[in-house]
A and B are shown apart, each in its own frame.
Chain A
Amino acid sequence: MSMARALRMFGTIALVLAGVILLITPYAGNPFWTGLMAQILIFGLLALSVDLLMRHTGLFPMCNGAFFAVAAYTVAMLEVNYGVASPFAALAGIASAGVTGMVFGVSVRASGVYFILVTLALGQLVWGVSVQWTWLTGGDNGITNVPYPSLGDMRIGSLTQMYYFVAFVVIFFTLLYRQVIRSPFGLSLNGIRDSESRMTALGFNVTVRKYVAFVISSLFAGVAGVLYAYTVQFVSPAASSLLISVEAALMPILGGPGTVFGAFIGAVIIIGIRNVVSGFLSGWPIVMGLVFIIVVLFAPKGILGIFNDLLRRSDRRDQAADAARKDVREAEQ
């Protein structure tokens, strides 16, 4: 069996295994693992929203945690304070993230380091509100007792049901995300990342496209925020902290920027180390740091990047071998 075929088989097995783990977690494990997997899925989706700007458009946003938090707070407030029905609360959550995205979208006029700084400042604005406006957000005490979502008489009644709901929604939006990045619009974003001036010369309105990408990113972050509020059932300023934005950027970098699975692999690593490794190793931040250093130094395309590189290399080797065999055959004739 050629190396390429072995790698493909390994990939397929890994994918099937991931699917099986995704399906059976609530039954194979206990609520700890179910809750952890739900968090991984939710933060994976948030990481995808960052990757849309970071890898596909060449913008490094530091405010996706803010969209995430705005959506989470909106859902929590509407559900807890006003008893709004879940579908409306969820839509309002996503919409509020989108509106915040439209406002913060002015930052696409800046580029490079300035874009990072502007989005950092805007993100901290939301954090400041969530900490200081205690009459609205509950401050550090947060908003507690967010119920599981319901539709009329249908009600999600347990963490297990919630988990499957989260898995369904995350998979749906991940597929949607894949459509976005493969669409002509998505490809034009890649063009903007590679050369803005060339895209301008080709007649694309670069600023508008970046703005739209920014708003789409905020909507995806909003979906993650809505799921977060319903799953964790508690929203506090931690949701809007800078750490969330930074980690959401680190996840695709670790897992494999530009890929759909990379974000989730990164989420498994970061959330896994923090919650699982910390259970038996008090020096877990060192492990986290080492993983970051190793990935950045030796796998700049992330963990999935190693796999893809290997696959490409062995494909090329196979092709070369095929060509050589063909040459030999032709020479023999």
Chain B
Amino acid sequence: MTGCKACMAAAFVAGVFGASAVSADAIRIGVMLPMTGGLAQSGLDARNGFELYWNQVGNEAGGREVEIIVADTVCNPDNAINAARRLAFNDEVDFLVGPLCGHEGPAVAQVSGETGVPLLLVPAAADSQTKWDRIPTVIRTGFSSSQDAHPFGEYLYNELGLRNVTFLGQDYSYGQEKTLGAVATFEALGGTVDEILWAPLSTTDYAPFLASIPQGTEAVVPVVVGVHRNRFIETWFDFGYDRQFDLIGLNLLQADALVDMDDRVVGLISVAQNYSQGIDTPENQAFMDAYVEAYGMIPSYFAEMMFSTAMWAHEAIDSIDGNVEDRDVFLQAVRDTEIVGPRGPLRLDDYDNPIQTTYISRVERVDHPTLGSVLMNVPVASFPDVSQFWTWTPEEFLERGPYTR
């Protein structure tokens, strides 16, 4: 026990007096991700994507060395606040990147607001952060929850010709924002939502939810996350619902879930997102090849978002010759920068949220040169230049208020 007390005392002293021990000219980037706990794998994907980019460019930007300091947030806002403060005060980072979990977003943004340390908010997706609760030092480089849901609702009506749909949404902020975003555009075109089934995060068995799908509905649109994706898919096929209804995934099978799937899911519409692994552009091909070579797996959308965030920051820093110490100049540089990342062209709207392409993906079995035969998401439709406000004016959207139930 005394040993651990001593090491904590040492840590305290090191923290208080050791802050100046980091090299003076390097640009320091503080990255906040869950490295332990339930979302550790997603956090690792994100970290890999970020580091992959900086390794490719020799860890250098604006003529200065780049140093990355990763802090573990455990997907808990109390920890995220401390992690952000530690990076800001002890490590004296020039700007922050992260966090991953939605509810950590406001906590970290608050630290950015009180310290003035710029935050590139990614992948945390809470709608409010670039709409009702904006903080001047916070710029989002990921996406807003409902952003990709709006075009998806129109896709259901226009492309798939569906008129009667049942939604199954995960009952928490991200699930509600995503589900209700698609409901809004689907209904605006004249579509009928037969029912929205809300599944709590504590759901272990999807059979009761699927049993209450109204007869006569044409398709079921799930928004499920994490391990719920596997639970949902198992129940769906085991109980034979695939023979009764169409399954159109709004947030169902991202790359990390496909690893656990078999050929029953081939051909399903799997997800509407700002990235799809099958995007056929040289930028994405180069990213996919480099990621597979470095980590031996297909990159998740967390990896891509952090990769293009690094690219974004890099170009911004280059454009101001590495003068990240002037925070206003840096923030403005990020706002002025437009890049073409693996997920396509990216630029910010006036509310500091990216305008980007929404891809609707379908699962296909693909022969990968190094990974062999794998399931992969391939875009079947894409909507370029999608804003977080879709076709509404920002004023209309903000007036209407957040998607809640």
Contact = CB atoms under 8 A, between A and B. Distances in A.
A279 interface: yes
Interface string B6-24: 0110011001100100000
A285 interface: yes
Contacts of B105: 141
Given A35-B85, A141-B173, A142-B103, A278 B71 contact: yes
B106 interface: yes
Interface string A224-251: 0000000011101110000100000000
Interface string A12-36: 0000000000000000111111011
B106 A36 contact: no
Given A33-B16, A276-B11, A238 B106 contact: no
Q: Is the interface of B mostly helix, strand, loop or mixed?
A: helix
Given A144-B110, A144-B133, A275 B174 contact: no
B405 to A, nearest CB: 6
A132 B201 CA distance: 9
Q: Is the interface of A mostly helix, strand, loop or mixed?
A: helix
A238 B78 contact: yes
Given A238-B77, A294-B1, A144 B106 contact: yes
A280 interface: yes
B76 A238 contact: yes
B348 interface: no
Contact of B78 (A145, A232, A294, A303): A232
A284 B36 contact: yes
A29 B11 CA distance: 12
B71 A140 contact: no
Interface string A139-182: 11110110000000000000100000000000000000000000
Given A131-B201, A135-B405, A303 B1 contact: yes
A36 B82 contact: yes
Contacts of A287: 4
Given A128-B200, A141-B126, A276 B12 contact: yes
Contacts of B35: 282
16 contacts: A32-B85, A32-B86, A35-B82, A131-B201, A134-B172, A139-B173, A140-B126, A140-B172, A140-B174, A141-B102, A144-B110, A236-B77, A237-B103, A238-B76, A277-B8, A306-B1
A55 to B, nearest CB: 20
Q: How large is the interface on A (under 10, 10 to 19, 20 to 34, 35 or more residues)?
A: 35 or more
A66 to B, nearest CB: 15
Given A30-B89, A144-B133, A232 B106 contact: no
Contacts of B128: 141, 144
Q: How large is the interface on B (under 10, 10 to 19, 20 to 34, 35 or more residues)?
A: 35 or more
A139 B82 contact: no
A275 B106 contact: no
A299 interface: yes
B330 interface: no
Contacts of A31: 85, 88-89, 115
Nearest to B35: A282
A325 B3 CA distance: 38
Interface string B102-129: 1101110010001100000000001110
A124 interface: yes
Contacts of B404: 134-135, 138-139
Given A131-B201, A141-B173, A299-B1, A276 B81 contact: no
A295 B76 CA distance: 25
Nearest to A235: B77
A291 interface: yes
B47 to A, nearest CB: 11
A39 B76 CA distance: 14
A274 B79 contact: yes
B81 A232 contact: yes
A37 B74 CA distance: 19
B173 A134 contact: yes
A300 interface: no
B130 interface: no
B15 A139 contact: no
Nearest to B70: A282
Given A284-B36, A306-B1, A131 B72 contact: no
Interface in A256-303: 268-269, 272, 274-280, 282, 284-285, 287, 291, 294-295, 299, 303
